[in-house]
Structure 1
Amino acid sequence: MNGDANRQDFVVRFRATELEAREGICSVAERLIRQGLAAERTGDVEIALAEAINNVVEHAYSGIEPGQIQVCCRLLADNLEIRIHDRGKPMPDGNLPSGDPIVPADLPEGGFGWFLIRQLVNEIEYQRLGQGNLLSLRFDLPSRPKA
């Protein structure tokens, strides 16, 4: 057990559709703000979450019935941990895309998301667990007042 008295956990679930994903991301952002996360940092989290979840909707569930996406959030005094679970297709080769810096003019439609996610998070990890995917994101947080 962590023993952190400031720990605040919550889970948001929604179907992997564009509309429900957008609503789910907004729900996560609203909960984080209510729990005291600064609006600026919440904006960073929302952007990274939108990019990651958009990839689940567009790629993990491409050509198959949209399933559930579960977003588990753990807000601690010094960081925010987010775990995104889905039961869609695995990442190509079972690995995260590199997210290397790219020249925007060279980009096709899309292609900037993983670079952007990596710029906004402090740690990222992908695992294929059985028939599901788990993407873990960690955001370091500046000291914040106790709730």
Structure 2
Amino acid sequence: MPTATFLPVFRVSVQSSELAVREALKSLLSGLMPLSLDLEEAGTVEIVMAEALNNIVEHAYPDGDPKGSIDITCEHQTDGLHLTVIDQGRCMPDGRMPLGTAANVGVALNDMPEGGFGWFLIKDLAKDVSYQRIGSENWLTLRLAVAAI
């Protein structure tokens, strides 16, 4: 039986910008390479993190604040990847993350909602999703059931 390979904790930090999400995803997936994630697992990481990071860039730092940092910590544990995303942007409305309910897609194309799919995807693909405002920081924590040992 092969021995379990654990990835050391690593961090990715970017400054909020139009290219920040792309840069962060590239660094995150590069850091996960030793785990040899299959295509589906890598896709799950990429979708969940792209949605979370795009929300930060668009809503926490809506004016493209060049000083807006986004820090991601990735910890590999037996039950998957534990990710913490911290920013110093605007607080989520009412201090809570959106419910993430599925949008009604059974409507005419012109009546389709423009947004609202991101939190549904995050909550559908990730486990143990939580948000809290700590001082002047937003903390999003989640677990992805990939690379579980």
With the length of structure 2 as denominator, give the TM-score of the two structures. 0.85
Distance 1:46 1:17, change over 3 A: same
Query: Which of the residues 128, 131, 134 maps onto 1:123?
Result: 128
Distance 1:143 1:48, change over 3 A: closer
What percentage of residue pairs aligned between the two structures are identical?
A: 41
CA shift, 1:64, in A, is 6.1
The 1-side partners of 2:54 and 2:28 are apart by 15
Q: Tell me the equivalent position of 2:55.
A: 55
Q: Tell me the equivalent position of 1:98.
A: 99
Distance 1:107 1:34, change over 3 A: farther
Distance 1:95 1:82, change over 3 A: same
Deviations 1:68-99 (A, max 9, x none): 10010001233110000000000000001000
- Of stretches 51-60 and 74-83 in structure 1, the one that deviates more from structure 2 is 74-83
Q: Tell me the equivalent position of 2:21.
A: 21
- Listed as ranges, the gaps of 5+ residues in structure 1 are none
- Of stretches 59-68 and 14-23 in structure 1, the one that deviates more from structure 2 is 59-68
- Listed as ranges, the gaps of 5+ residues in structure 2 are none
> What SS is found at the alignment partner of 2:32?
helix
1:137 aligns with 2:138: no
- Of stretches 71-80 and 35-44 in structure 1, the one that deviates more from structure 2 is 35-44
**One-letter amino acid of the structure 1 residue matched with residue 29 of structure 2:** A
**One-letter amino acid of the structure 1 residue matched with residue 132 of structure 2:** Q
**Contact 1:15/1:21 (8 A) holds in 2:** no
Deviations 1:84-133 (A, max 9, x none): 00000000000010001221245422211000111110110001010010
**One-letter amino acid of the structure 1 residue matched with residue 80 of structure 2:** N
Distance 1:64 1:26, change over 3 A: closer
Distance 1:74 1:82, change over 3 A: same
**One-letter amino acid of the structure 2 residue matched with residue 23 of structure 1:** E
Q: Tell me the equivalent position of 2:80.
A: 79
> What SS is found at the alignment partner of 2:98?
coil
